Structure 1
Amino acid sequence: MSLFPELDGPPSDRLFFGIFPEAAVAETIADQTRDLKGRLDLSGAPLTPERFHVTLHHIGDYAGLPRGIVAQALEAGEAASLAAPFEVSFDKAASFNNRGNNPFVLQGGEGLAELHAFQKALGLSMAHAGLGRQVARQFNPHVTLLYDRVLAPDTPVEPVSWRVSEFVLIHSLLGQTRHIVLGRWALKG
């Protein structure tokens, strides 16, 4: 018998820290996605604007919502909220090779330096809260636009930028395309 019976079985719940663009920026991303889909002859359905986000740390997939891990994540989020707001800028689109279900994503270069620093600081807060094993060791910030069978080449795009003034802890119901915000923190620094 498991010590954590609520975590037995197939995963149904995902926890992650993320940032979401404000609505006007999400609409700009949606417009770019439609344009890129046509130009690159992609057939996948674009994600809806409210689903556009950058995952900072994938905490895990679980069978049920692990209350202890949620409590640790909330503690880590509170500690990381002392950081200052920062700018992000994504200036290219490309596909990740995922053997047929390829994410087509926005990416960036130098415009994401402060995002990298914040992601690392959040990871330190997670480790202090007891979630060190869930800290992402590698970080390739991106915004998923759609999924497609085709692998699209690196494509420069008009930069999409926004000021990150908050981050969230998300409970994602796997297979249901639903995101439930469990914690939201304004950056205070």
Structure 2
Amino acid sequence: MTESLFFALQPDVTAITQIQQVSAGLCAQHDLSTRFITADRLHVTLHFVGDLAALSQDQLEHAHAAAAAIKLPAFELSFDKVLSFRSAKSERPLVLASNASMTALQLFRYELGDQLRRRGVPADKTVFTPHITLAYDKYAVEEQILAVPVKWTAREFVLIKSFVGKSRYEVLGRWPLGAA
């Protein structure tokens, strides 16, 4: 079994309820037959750390140290549209995304990446498109604006171990964000 690690933000209970309502609406509107991502797996990926088998114990400890070094305030996230991302695979990611810049999220991700790189843990500097994957489906949903955006305040971030292909996650660490 392949296991990978990544840092992420997870929606709070209220946002999860909103996401489930959006998902139900999409099913009805587009006659989707796909299974949506379960509530415990909804997240915004921040940085992929790597394949667990390829990481040394030192790299894992450095990833934890990088997370502990983050001293930033809590911030609001707002996702106001749904669309299907393009994909070379037959099933496209159906996602919640945002027309807003989400500057605080972008700065937070940059700081986390910088802390990881300082400790020798690889972290992408690529363009970051904040999103929450809802499902994978052959049917492409054109961009549509939500009547009510999905919002929550990010008060912590997590390191997740993904059991690839098993639709299961395990949270390996949680770090709080300061008062907003």
Fold conserved between structures, TM > 0.5: yes
Alpha-carbon distance in structure 2 between the residues aligned to 1:103 and 1:54: 13
Alpha-carbon distance between aligned partners in 1 of 2:108 and 2:82, rounded to the nearest angstrom: 22
1:1-189 aligned within 5 A? 12-63=2-53, 66-80=56-70, 82-98=71-87, 99-110=89-100, 112-131=102-121, 133-157=122-146, 158-188=148-178
Does structure 2 retain, via aligned residues, the 8 Å contact 1:57–1:136?
A: no
- Structure 1 111/138 Cα, relative in aligned 2: closer, same or farther at 3 Å? closer
Once the two structures are aligned, what percentage of the paired residues are identical? 36
Aligned length in residues: 177
- Report the residue type matching 1:145 in the other structure: L
C-alpha separation between the residues in 1 aligned to 2:66 and 2:107? 16
Q: Distance in 2 between matches of 1:75 and 1:128?
A: 10
| Structure 1: runs of 5 or more not aligned | 1-10
Report the Cα distance in structure 1 between the residues aligned to 2:27 and 2:53, rounded to whole angstroms: 35
CA RMSD of aligned residues (A): 1.7
Contact in 2 for aligned 1:76/1:122 (Cα 8 Å): yes
1:110 match: secondary structure = coil
CA distance in 2, matches of 1:25, 1:111: 19
In the TM superposition, structure 1's runs of 4+ consecutive aligned residues that sit over 4 Å from their partners are none
Kept in 2, the 8 Å contact 1:127–1:135? The answer is no
Secondary structure, aligned partner of 2:102:
helix
Instruction: Tell me by how many angstroms 1:109 deviates.
Output: 2.4
In the aligned structure 2, how far is the partner of 1:86 from the partner of 1:78? 17
> TM-score when scaled to structure 1?
0.87
User: Which residue type is aligned with residue 187 of structure 1?
Assistant: L
Q: CA deviation at 1:18?
A: 0.1
Deviation at 1:40, TM superposition (A): 2.1
Q: Is the 8 A contact 1:17 1:167 kept in 2?
A: yes
Cα deviation 1:128-171 (Å, max 9, x = unaligned): 1211x333422111001111001110011120100001000111
Gaps of 5+ in 2: none
